[in-house]
Structure 1
């Protein structure tokens, strides 16, 4: 008698696997309302801009767009105006980021103390954060006004701060520091409040002074926060447009023409959309390279 082969019984899927699959589908459905606008208004224009960077796209009706490869990149690398704006942009971004951090750290340390009206002081410290860049630019434009400005009235001078070739860039750097300091202060203050008090009590027993407590406890504990916020500040500052456009529009004589202002002029003043898109792509690459190098060095120091 020969044995008859029987088919093994079909096993039902793992209940845990089915639950995870169902949970994944539900999570995706819940995320769709947030993902669709991001794809439509962020990722889509970004990809379209990258595509334009390799064409000769210009303004005008019924114009044919041709693929030009790396022609825009070659023009960019030999454009003195771009390198000038890139230099100004790096000076602006590094200066504002460093000064923002130093000022915000001092303010955060002050607001972390048990002072009278500390709550009111914290609210006042974040007021610039709630103001649109255009409003900040108009307000500081009045402060720097050569005839009716508060600054000249206090100093007893008659200087056109925003039209002076040697003073325009430092003047807008001050505005950039003032406008961007609140968010850095809030982040650093949150980091300070997260430091265990036991650490300070332990070094106080050893007779450590304020400077030693700050150097050995505060800064090491804040290091991850410092790396994160200064990196974000650098990205925000190198991409700054609205504030500087309202203050100087890149003048005088291009002394405050940041890279984003240069790209704006190429796109909407001279109508070279393809070249302006290549400017944007180049700045994204530069920002990612600088930011990656900075984060790599910071992570090496924390090991």
Structure 2
């Protein structure tokens, strides 16, 4: 079992080429041979669950990946919250065919509700993800980071969604170096933090439901409220483009207003400036509102600045 720690960044499809060129240039200019582009992969993945989503409801994602004529069975658990980052358990096995080998699950600490394996008789392929993956190995701020750019589709009988994203996975070194390198990208290109996994993209095709963070109790600390409003901002931002609904700018503004009350003065003032920028765009009643929001760099920078501050409070 491995513990996977990654930071996911949304990239609108029209900016993927520029992001890849930026990463190529970073590696080419580096004096370290550890910074290098890796071969591009074509990845085909089938995700399995019961028709009533028993695995997803228990925070489990199970897939078979086909790559270079080999099959890999993977199970991922939801893991613990890291405020904008994904931290989860991951089990992988090489298998000989594209059929699940459920005997391998004895290595996975399943929750009590799944322990009797009765659900295993009802498994079906519920959705697929098919995408090209470009890969870079990057050394930055004392960390070895695998950066991947994924472009493709998630599909099921209920519809289709686009995959267009960067994933920065920590291989070794300081955890906060993920934020440092992501900020290096975001200062030049329009990327934003995302907490939505490919498995969540596939699962929501059926009902188009958005998963929101749990509301804190009134007695919780200011830091807990800061994390809640930060993740609510990220959730509404991703939903804004997934649902193509400009009305969601309003709860984004609300999230920013509440977040400003929970963070230090300098960061609060930066968030207030971003809020004013959003309001100015919204007041223009412009048909290109979403395109303008997607094309700016300040949102991604502030998402990363805020996420970095929040994670430092956990140290």
Normalised-by-shorter TM-score class: under 0.3
- Return the structure number with greater relative CO, CA threshold 8 A, min gap 6: 1
TM-score by length of 2: 0.23
Structure 1 or 2: larger strand share?
2
TM-score by length of 1: 0.23
